[in-house]
Structure 1
Amino acid sequence: MQGYNVIMVYSPDRQRLLMCRRRKDPYKGLSNLVGGKIESEESGIDAAYRELREETGIGRDDIRLRHLMDFTYYLQNCCVEVYVGRLRREVEASGDENDLYWSDLERDFFDLKRYAGEGNIGHMLEQVRRSPELLD
């Protein structure tokens, strides 16, 4: 089973979420979380930190990630690991793969015309809202 990850990066004040606008399919033009593929020799958490550094420039010293949940897609033979963290300080996020931006949290993240993932982003945000200690 192929592994992937998505990473929820909150601003230090917990008021914004780092998003990207996808430049290619799947979900071209839609907003998504950063993330990528887990290599066979990597642990999930190491892959999350690697992808975060590659796509945003944010490193381990900037954030502590926690494993929130997994989505297993048996028909596609893949699993998506979800990680969440809050930046320790303001950091300039920059990357070449997709257009990065900070979104406020007062959005309808279940809007399938705007956000990738068939509503999964909204679901993940609700889980964090129910367990705010994840961002401590």
Structure 2
Amino acid sequence: MQGYNVLMIYNNELNQLLMCKRLKDPYKGLSNLVGGKIEPRESGIDAAYRELMEETSISKEDVTLVHLMDFKYYVQNCYVEVYVGKLKRDVLIAGDENELYWSDLNQDFFDMSLYAGEGNIGHMIEQVNMYKDKILID
């Protein structure tokens, strides 16, 4: 079963979430969270930090990731690990895989004409909102 990760990175003030505009399929043209494949014999957390660095230039020293939840898709034979973190300081984001930007949190993240993931992004944000004090650590 192929593993993937998705990374919810909040700015230090917790009023913006790092998003990307997808430049290729799946979800070409839609906004999404950053993430990628978990390589064989790679731990989920190691893959999360590696993908974060590759796609955004955010390092392990800039953010502490917390494993929030997983999604398992039996028909597609894959799973997605969801990690969340709050930046410890302002950082310069840079990546060439997708167009990166900071999104305000007052968006309708359930709008499938704008956001990838069939509503999962909205669901994940609501989970973070419910348990923010337990998971968003410095």
| 1:13 maps to amino acid | E
Distance 2:121 2:92 in 1: 23
- CA-to-partner distance for each residue in 1:49-106, whole Å, 9 max, x for gaps? 0000000000000000000000000000000000000000000111000000000000
Aligned to 2:115: 115
- What is the correspondence of 1:1-136 to structure 2 with a 5 Å cutoff? 1-133=1-133, 134-136=135-137
Q: What is the deviation of 1:41? A: 1.6
List runs of 5+ in structure 2 lacking aligned partners: none
Secondary structure of the 1:76 match is coil
The share of aligned pairs that are identical, in percent, is: 68
Q: CA RMSD in A?
A: 0.4
Return the alpha-carbon distance in structure 1 between the equivalents of residues 83 and 127 of structure 2.
Answer: 12
Q: Which consecutive residues of structure 1, in runs of 5 or more, have no partner in the other structure?
A: none
What TM-score, normalized to structure 2?
0.98
Secondary structure of the corresponding residue to residue 82 of structure 1: strand
SS, match of residue 131 in structure 1: helix
Q: Name the amino acid aligned to 2:63.
A: I
Please tell me the residue identity of whatever aligns with 1:121.
I
Q: Which runs of 4+ in 1 moved over 6 A?
A: none
Distance (whole Å) between structure 2 residues aligned to residue 118 and residue 103 of structure 1: 18
Q: How many residues align?
A: 136
Partners of 1:104 and 1:74 in 2: CA distance: 33
How far off its partner does 1:122 sit?
Answer: 0.1
